[in-house]
Structure 1
Amino acid sequence: MAADDDGSPTRDAADTPLPRVLCDTAELLSLGGDAPGGALWRLAEAGRQLDANVVRVPPGGRVGTHTEPDLDVLLLVLDGEAALVRADGERPLRAGALTWLPHGSARGIAAGPNGVTYLTVHRRRPGMRIQPPDAADRLRPGG
């Protein structure tokens, strides 16, 4: 989607990054039911501290219930309806609903009859790091 001018990183003379337009969500939403399922847009700028995605879940589709152990996530419904699946049941979401998904919480999304498109934003995950050979032991049951 649209970025400033030619899409190249925008910097001033001191090599300081400048704010810029990254995506026109109205244009993404104009695809309506013709939009494919999955990520329609991803934040991919170098040096960023955040990750963000615009995701489309087609009618009746689901994002399975899972637990994010490390990251809080903000989810903003841009279009459509869905159910937020929580440990204590489902909560309805519609366009405009801004939802906090705290780390450690179990959550899933069940799209409504017309599907749902939403924006997620969270702190960027650190890259893969070389670990000592015994580091994997902490990931094993009883480790």
Structure 2
Amino acid sequence: MNFVPRVLAVLDELLTAAAPDDRGALWQLAEPGRELDANLVRLPAGAEVGEHQEDVLDVLLVVVAGGGRAVVAGAELDLTPTTVLWLPRTSRRALVAGPGGLAYLTVHRRRPGLTITSSAGSSAPFPVAEPGAEPVAEPAGPYAARPAADEGGEAPCMLDLVCPACGRLSADPEPVFCSRCGERFAER
């Protein structure tokens, strides 16, 4: 693959184009073959991202507009434009937007993609038949069943699991209603 440096987004333009009450990821890095993930996230005034923990990745959070606070290790840290916050893996954190809202960029190592494995636990990728086609045989020889590698993980951005009303992070991967306040999540 031939990678060429180029401008992917102008954050000020994305923020200007967003409606005042837009919440969530306004932009995501989606280039094929990348080794990073990045998201431009916007929270309207007073909105929160409930306490949660990232077990696998360190995250760098850069405030680009507005302000608010991060609650980490029982302390409150002020977030203002140009603040750079390092969130080491396993740290618990929550975010609260100030009266002008909060817009920030998150950057972290890309999570490995999911692969299809056999029921016998092989981690080798198998060909997948098109819908309606004959089943594809599992490989033999060097690709025969062997212990599966841990290749999953959470999505890079979990904002779709955060209740829009109270900020609680849902344990359900596809929530319909918030278990704390009963607010309906957006249709997927």
- Mapped pair 1:53 → 2:39: yes
Between 1:28-37 and 1:103-112, the stretch displaced more is: 28-37
Match of 1:88 in 2: 74
Tell me how large the CA RMSD over aligned residues is.
2.2
Q: 1:20 to 1:90 in 2, by over 3 A?
A: same
The one-character-per-residue Cα deviations of 1:92-122 (angstroms, maximum 9, x if unpaired) are 1100001100001001111101110000000
- Identity across the alignment (%): 48
Match of 2:12 in 1: 26
Structure 1 residue 31 displacement after superposition: 3.8
Q: Distance in 2 between matches of 1:103 and 1:17?
A: 29
Give the SS at the match of 1:81. strand
Structure-1-length-normalised TM-score: 0.77
Residue number among 34, 38, 48 corresponding to 1:62 in the alignment: 48
Match of 1:126 in 2: 112
Q: Distance in 2 between matches of 1:42 and 1:35?
A: 19
Match of 1:4 in 2: none
Q: Distance in 1 between matches of 2:62 and 2:114?
A: 28
Q: 1:33 to 1:115 in 2, by over 3 A?
A: farther
Corresponding residue pairs, total: 122
For 1:102, give the aligned amino acid.
P
Name the larger-Rg structure. 2
Structure 1 residue 32 displacement after superposition: 6.6
Higher strand share: 1
Instruction: Say whether the 8 Å CA contact 2:20–2:44 is kept in structure 1.
Output: no
Unaligned runs of 5+ in 2: 123-146, 151-188
Report 1 or 2 for greater relative contact order, CA contacts < 8 Å, sequence distance ≥ 6: 1
For 2:82, give the aligned amino acid.
G
Match of 2:3 in 1: 17
